[in-house]
Amino acid sequence: MTTIERLDGWKASGVINEEQHALLSSYVRHERFSIFVELSALLYLGVLSIIAGLTWTFRDYIDRLGDVAILSILLILMTVAFGYCFIKTRPYSNDEVESPTFAFDYVLYFACLVFSSTLAFIQTRFTVFHGWDAHLLIASLVFGAIAYRFDNRFVLSLALSTLAGYLGLRFDLFDGLEDDQLRIMAMLYGAFLLGIGWLLHRSRIKRHFFDVFLQLGANAILLANAHGTIDGSNLYLLVLLLLSGASIALGLRYRRFAFVLYGTLYGYFGLTVRVLDLARSATFGLLWLVVTGTVVLLTLVVVARRFGRDEE
């Protein structure tokens, strides 16, 4: 009796269900399955590793190589990478444009990281800009332009994250800035991202980028309120729970599991912080973490599997 026949028998007798039978049968038949997400993640990590290796090498051998040699190497790498992208890219369109080659996105990401490293090296060695805030702002603007020109959501995320770093650095320059002011500014930044994303989506300019603005904007707002709960503020907790509920509800309505996840985790964090503050014993706090953490985890697993079945 073959393995497939055994699987058919187990399915007929109710030992395994239809979904398990299909999955096991695909493994037995050595059918192909997609590893695109895993491979893509490994390639992006590979690009980061290359940049980290270059940075480490330049740092250790800067006296031996010299500023001119290091800067020349960075400029050559950046020129070659960006040159490849400009040669291979398709004409600009407000609609989604497919990458011309498999390696295109990774080369573009590499070029952006080299560009950022070049700016950082120039600032470190020659102090061209008046502070690191200018370096971050320039990098953010360049990344944003590159993201739209080459239709790359990963680079857009890099641009918006760099902009957040610039704003954070600018905020820290004000000595008298309170935590509440920082949180309000973070919420305003999140609202700004949501507003810009909505306007561009409404204008039909790279409408598929809207998800990036939503993701980063929602996280900025939720994170600011979650941080406020650490100080014991009931107002931040109330706002956090309302926003978390809205994120979960909208995520379920529009079939977006990421927002269900954000709402659940941030809301759970705020509640847990408050419960642990009010807990009179370490035993109760530990019991709360174990029981509620398990419930939240199992709930997310069930919801994720349901989303997966609905998409099949």
Domain ranges (residues) in the chain? 1-33, 43-173, 177-312
Q: What is the pLDDT of residue 213?
A: 95
Q: What is the pLDDT of residue 12?
A: 79
Q: How far apart are CA 267 and CA 237, in angstroms?
A: 8
pLDDT in tens, the chain (312 residues): 566 677 677 777 776 777 776 766 655 554 444 444 445 555 556 666 666 666 676 666 666 777 788 888 889 999 999 999 999 998 999 998 888 887 898 899 889 988 988 888 888 778 777 767 788 889 899 999 999 999 999 899 889 988 888 887 665 555 545 678 888 888 999 999 999 999 999 999 999 999 999 999 999 999 999 999 988 889 999 999 999 999 999 999 988 999 999 999 999 999 999 999 888 788 888 899 999 999 999 999 888 888 765 544
Q: How far apart are CA 269 and CA 284, in angstroms?
A: 16
Contact 240, 229 (CB under 8 A): yes
Q: How far apart are CA 153 and CA 146, in angstroms?
A: 10
* Residue type, position 306, single letter: R
Helix H or strand E segment including 280? none
Q: How far apart are CA 284 and CA 275, in angstroms?
A: 9
Q: What is the pLDDT of residue 30?
A: 44
Q: What is the pLDDT of residue 41?
A: 57
Exposure b/e, 161-200, CB count within 10 A at least 16 = b: ebbbbbbebeeeeeeeeeeeebbebbbebbeebbeebeeb
Long-range CB pairs of 70-79 (<8 Å, 24+ gap) are: 70/121, 71/118, 71/121, 71/122, 74/114, 74/117, 74/118, 74/121, 75/118, 77/110, 77/114, 78/111, 78/114, 78/115, 78/118
